[in-house]
Structure 1
Amino acid sequence: MMRRAAEINSLHGIPVAAGAPAISHLLFADDSILFTKARLEEADVIRYILNRYEKASGQLVNIDKTTMSFSKGIPLECRDNLARRLGFVVVDEQQASLETLNGTGEPLGSSGGFMDAPLGHNPSYIWRGIVEARKAIQGGLRRRIGDGLTTRVWHDAWLPVTQTGRVISPLVAGYEDLRVADLLVGGNGSWNEELITSLFLPFERERISNIRVSSNRPPDTWAWCGEKDGVFTVKSAYRFLAANGDAEGLKPKNGGNGGRLKRAGDKGWTPPPREFVRVNVDAGVKEGEGVGMGLVCRDEMGRVLWGSSVVQGQSWDPQVAEAAAVLEGIKEAIRFGHKKVILESGCLTVIDALKRKAVGRSIFSLVIDDILALCTSFNSISWSFVSRANNCVAHELAHPVPRVASSFVGSEELPPSVNNAVRFDLSIIQ
């Protein structure tokens, strides 16, 4: 509930660096710390969440042992109003001040502030908890590349699928201040392969080439590598610490499924309503061969209007590949002038993200943003999950043999395996 409230901006946590994910809560074995702005509206949200928790769990919050503290700039009248609204005891937690950060006098997110502030000789309980959480945050933050203008090649953690995210290739003289934007070609979101080859070790060349860059080129931002959407969660921080042998003292609370999705009912492939088209997409990642994406569009009679096999040399994360397949399907639907579209994918995570218009900081979220930005081209667009068994046509197109790109209009040029899948779907609906 805390995470959901933060997602819809009902609560505002503390960002750990400029542009970095905000922390709205820390959950320990026996205690919890909540972070919000000093506003009555957010106090009401906290009270609502605690009431819901009490009703759902049967456990009561011990008000006598619940305390609250404020940063130095909060007026006394505001403190009193918030304390009365929540019924908590106000304590003086000078070291927990979100403005002074243990007496450093530096605001949160400034250079040398939160990440470098020492524990101190007599730290408060809150400050000790924040510093403990910092261990996970430092290791799990990565730069999500948008336009590449603010990410430093040799200094920032921006490489995916590496332990530290930092470049280890030897620094080449004259490139000390290189930005990721300098590795991109023009505005088309492609990498300068010649420059990359001259600067980086082979395995880092591959990592860089596989980073998908949005054609919209949004600003770079910090993302949390422990979650697909790049948003920090306490549970993922615990998993991160556990994987690195440093999880003592941090334990996730019971309850909830961490935002994980339950499989929806399998409706099977069905024709769209009249005047609509149904676009099915699928993606497959094969090591050493990159990504294959299959797209097919059919009308209310089940007739194939168009389709294609798209082959990319990059090796993306499977969910990024599935989202990219949806993006390609949307682009083709626009190109063919469709106005009422039902899009089906076998990736429930992608469909859920599109239905929720999910906001995140990861490469996956960037693709979701690109998809949603194109939806204004339609009079009607909806998203639907379909099992692989009922997504056979798109699946066959995503795994062509031989592995080459192709496209077609109508059903006359369908490959035999694809044609068989189309005929099977028709036999079911007739």
Structure 2
Amino acid sequence: MKPNIYKYSFRHRDNDSVHWSPPLRGTLKINVDAHLSSDGHWSTWLVLRRSDESAVGAATRVHKGVADVVTGEAMVLNDAMDWVEKLGEDKVIFELDSQIVVKAMKEKAKVRRGWGGVIRQCKLFLDDKPQANIVWVPRAANKVAHELAKWAEHEPNRKWLNITPPCIWSLIQKDKSLIASS
């Protein structure tokens, strides 16, 4: 059983508003999302943040030839896990707004669909990183990644480390203001 490194992944500001919340100190949180472009490519966005809400970094990826939304969401999770592993981070919460992918990750059953191979890879990552966890969040709590998955079409296969990319600065500031007002 995975330790509960963060009891609540998102905060309710009021009955109608849900937004991103920071992880506990010493834990990182990576929000991921995928967007199907008009030419059939999946654009993915990853944003990794600290407990003080600052960005550790962000990255974009583009995948070709996959039309299935669940496969796109599974691929962005795999991208995030590869990136976090390269950064040498172990205590990370992966947040995404795909209930199907999160449920498949948490179940013991083998996924027999085309995206099952990607899920198996992701499960191996979590088996090797007992302090990492994956959680589903509503889209409103994953807004930065959701909005910027579209941006990945303009800046494909890029990484920003220890800086906040200009294209996400205003969205991160909005998250901070929502946290401060809750």
With structure 1 as the length reference, what TM-score do the two structures score?
0.36
- Please tell me the residue identity of whatever aligns with 2:53: G
For residues 68 and 153 of structure 2, the distance between their equivalents in structure 1, rounded to whole angstroms, comes to 22
Whether the aligned pair in 2 keeps the contact of 1:339 and 1:377 (CA below 8 Å) is no
Bigger relative contact order (CA 8 A; separation at least 6): 2
The alpha carbon displacement at 1:276 in A equals 0.8
The alpha carbon displacement at 1:293 in A equals 0.5
In the TM superposition, 1:253-264 aligns within 5 A as: none
- Please tell me the residue identity of whatever aligns with 1:411: I
For residues 128 and 46 of structure 2, the distance between their equivalents in structure 1, rounded to whole angstroms, comes to 19
- Please tell me the residue identity of whatever aligns with 1:348: Q
Partner of 1:312: 63
- Cα distance change on mapping 1:360 and 1:401 into 2, 3 Å: closer
What's the RMSD between the two structures over aligned residues? 2.0
For residues 325 and 363 of structure 1, the distance between their equivalents in structure 2, rounded to whole angstroms, comes to 15
Aligned: 1:397 with 2:148 = yes
Whether the aligned pair in 1 keeps the contact of 2:45 and 2:152 (CA below 8 Å) is no
1:280 aligns with one of 16, 20, 31? 31
1:325 aligns with one of 55, 59, 76? 76
Q: Which has the higher strand share?
A: 2
**Higher alpha-carbon Rg:** 1
Query: Number of paired residues?
Result: 164
Whether the aligned pair in 2 keeps the contact of 1:346 and 1:387 (CA below 8 Å) is yes
Structure 1 counterpart SS, 2:58: strand
Whether the aligned pair in 2 keeps the contact of 1:290 and 1:313 (CA below 8 Å) is yes
For residues 401 and 356 of structure 1, the distance between their equivalents in structure 2, rounded to whole angstroms, comes to 30
1:426 aligns with one of 160, 169, 176? 176
Gaps of 5+ in 2: 1-10, 13-17
1:294 aligns with one of 45, 51, 75? 45
- Cα distance change on mapping 1:285 and 1:339 into 2, 3 Å: same
The alpha carbon displacement at 1:392 in A equals 1.7
In the TM superposition, 1:47-86 aligns within 5 A as: none
Whether the aligned pair in 2 keeps the contact of 1:334 and 1:377 (CA below 8 Å) is no
1:303 aligns with one of 54, 64, 81? 54
- Cα distance change on mapping 1:311 and 1:362 into 2, 3 Å: same
Whether the aligned pair in 2 keeps the contact of 1:393 and 1:421 (CA below 8 Å) is yes
- Cα distance change on mapping 1:349 and 1:410 into 2, 3 Å: same
- Cα distance change on mapping 1:401 and 1:372 into 2, 3 Å: closer
After superposition, the C-alpha distances for 1:322-342 in whole angstroms (9 at most, x for unaligned) are: 011111111111111111111
1:408 aligns with one of 132, 150, 160? 160
After superposition, the C-alpha distances for 1:83-126 in whole angstroms (9 at most, x for unaligned) are: xxxxxxxxxxxxxxxxxxxxxxxxxxxxxxxxxxxxxxxxxxxx
- Cα distance change on mapping 1:392 and 1:273 into 2, 3 Å: same
With structure 2 as the length reference, what TM-score do the two structures score?
0.82
Aligned: 1:371 with 2:155 = no
For residues 169 and 95 of structure 2, the distance between their equivalents in structure 1, rounded to whole angstroms, comes to 19
For residues 51 and 33 of structure 2, the distance between their equivalents in structure 1, rounded to whole angstroms, comes to 20
Partner of 1:67: none
Whether the aligned pair in 2 keeps the contact of 1:268 and 1:386 (CA below 8 Å) is no
The alpha carbon displacement at 1:388 in A equals 1.7
Partner of 1:242: none
- Cα distance change on mapping 1:269 and 1:358 into 2, 3 Å: farther
- Please tell me the residue identity of whatever aligns with 1:428: L
